[in-house]
Amino acid sequence: MSGIYLNNAATSYPKPDCVKELALKNINALPSGQFRSAGVSDNGDIFLECRRKLALILGVEESERIFFTSGATESLNTLLSGIGVNASEIITTVTEHNSVLRPLYNLPGIKGEPMLLPCDKEGVVSPGHFEDLAKTGRGKVLILNHCSNVNGTVQDAEAFGKIAKKYGLIYIIDASQSAGCMRIDADAWSADAIAFTGHKSLLGLQGSGGYYIRSGIPFVPMKYGGTGRDSEKLRYDGGDYEYETGTQNSLAIAALSEAARFILERGIENIEKRESEIRQYAKKRLSEIKGIFVFPSPEEKSGPVLSFSSEILPPSDISYILQNSYGIVTRSGLMCAPLMHEYIGSGKKGTVRISFSIFQKEEDIDSLCEALKEIHGDNG
C-alpha cells in the first residue's frame, strides 16, 4: 500500500497527460504575454481561449469579464477590496475558508465585522436565515462558499442568488472546490462575481486561477501597473480600469486552458457522477470500521470531499501514520475553515479529510480502509 493520494481538495493529482504535455511545450516555446504575443496554441490567443472555456465551466456569458490571478485567495482579496463596502455590510457563512474570513477581518479600509450565517451539523446553511438577515437592509454583499472543503456540503447557490437579487445584494460565490467537478451556472444563479482556483478540480497548475465579475458592478482594482497596452495612460478616470497588471503566468494559463478543454470534453456531469460514486463508496467502507466516525453531509448535495475522525487518535496522528507508514496522503486539522467545526462537532482539532479526483479508484479506498483497520486493531 503506497503512493495513494487522497488530498485533491488541496491540489489535484495527477494532472491529465495533455496538461503536462502542454505545460512542457510552453516552457520550451518563446515567452508569451497578454497583448504582447499569443503563446503556444493551435487556435490563437491562449488568454482568450482560456476565458472562453472557463466561461462554459462557470456558466457565464461575459467571458471577457473573467480575469486571471494566482488563485482563489488573490481573487477573493481583490473582490473584497474592490467592491468598496465595509465588512459590517457583508453577509457570509461559518463554512467559509480563511481566504474569505481573513480578508474580512484584516483588509485595510474594510471596517467592522461581517454578519455570519450558521450551518447545521451537516454544514448546510439555510437560505431562509439569509433572507431574514437580508430583509433588515443591513447587508450589501453576500459571499457564499459553494462547496465546503471540510465535508463536501454543497449549498443551494441558486436559492441564495434569488434572495440576493430580491434584496439588491451583490452576490459573490467562492467556487474553489466546485469549479471543474460540478455544475456551476453563475448567470442563472444571479451571481455577480465568482472566484476560482486552477489547481484543484480544474486540474491546472498551482499559481493559476481568477475571478469573474459582472459588468456594471462598481469595482476598483487592487493592483496597478503595466498591462501591455495604453502605456501612456497614467490616471484612470470614470471606472475605465484594467484588472490584469504585470506579467501574467502564461504557462499556467495555457495549462489551465488545456485542463478546461479536458474537463469539457470529459463532461462535467460525468466527472461529478464518477466522483460521487467514489465518495459514496468511501463513506460506506469507512462507516464499517470500528472506531471511525464519518461526519455527515447531505448525499444529494455533496462534492468530492469527506471527513472522519478516530476514537483513539487525533486527526494529525492519523494523517501522519497514514502517510509515513502506508504512503497514503490525506489532510488533517481545521482545513483553513475554523468556524465550521464548532457546528459540525469536530472540535478544535478538526478532522481527517479525504478528497477525490476523476482519476481515483476504488482500490485506493480499499487500501485506506485496510490501513485504518490495522491502526485501530480491527481484525474483523
Would you state the pLDDT for residue 300? Answer: 81
- 36, pLDDT greater than 60: no
pLDDT digits (tens, 9 = 90+) for 193-202: 999 999 999 9
326: left (phi over 0), alpha (psi -120 to 50) or beta: alpha
pLDDT digits (tens, 9 = 90+) for 152-172: 999 999 999 999 999 999 999
When mean pLDDT is compared across 137-141, 233-237, 271-275, the lowest value belongs to 233-237
- Who wins on pLDDT, 248 or 293? 293
Could you tell me the pLDDT band of residue 301, with boundaries at 50, 70 and 90?
A: confident
139: left (phi over 0), alpha (psi -120 to 50) or beta: beta
Residue type, 336: C
CA distance 14 to 314: 28
pLDDT digits (tens, 9 = 90+) for 106-157: 999 899 999 999 999 999 999 999 999 999 999 999 999 999 999 999 999 9
When mean pLDDT is compared across 7-21, 216-230, 357-371, the lowest value belongs to 216-230
CB contact burial 356-376 (16+ within 10 A = b; e otherwise):
bbbbbeeebbebbbbbbbebb
Would you state the pLDDT for residue 44? Answer: 58
Domain 4-12+268-376 matching CATH 3.90.1150.10: the answer reads yes
CA distance 294 to 287: 6
CA distance 198 to 226: 23
- Provide the 10 A C-beta neighbour count for residue 324: 9
Would you state the pLDDT for residue 40? Answer: 47
pLDDT digits (tens, 9 = 90+) for 342-354: 999 999 999 999 9
End-to-end Cα separation, the chain, in angstroms: 20
Would you state the pLDDT for residue 164? Answer: 98
Would you state the pLDDT for residue 39? Answer: 46
The rounded percent of the chain whose pLDDT value lies above 90 is 84
**Cell numbers of 233, please?**
495612460
CATH of domain 17-266: 3.40.640.10
Each domain of the chain, given as residue ranges in start order, spans: 4-12+268-376, 17-266
- Who wins on pLDDT, 36 or 366? 366
The whole-chain average pLDDT of the chain stands at: 94
- 359, pLDDT greater than 70: yes
Would you state the pLDDT for residue 380? Answer: 59
Instruction: Provide mean pLDDT across the span 8-25.
Output: 95
CA distance 132 to 252: 42
The DSSP secondary-structure symbol of 300 reads G
Do residues 351 and 332 lie in contact, with contact meaning Cβ atoms separated by under 8 Å?
yes
**Cell numbers of 61, please?**
456569458
Residues 6+ apart with CB under 8 A from 87: 104, 105, 107, 110, 111, 112, 113, 114
pTM: 0.95
The rounded percent of the chain whose pLDDT value lies above 70 is 96
Would you state the pLDDT for residue 228? Answer: 77
- 276, pLDDT greater than 80: yes
Could you tell me the pLDDT band of residue 2, with boundaries at 50, 70 and 90?
A: low
Could you tell me the pLDDT band of residue 306, with boundaries at 50, 70 and 90?
A: very high
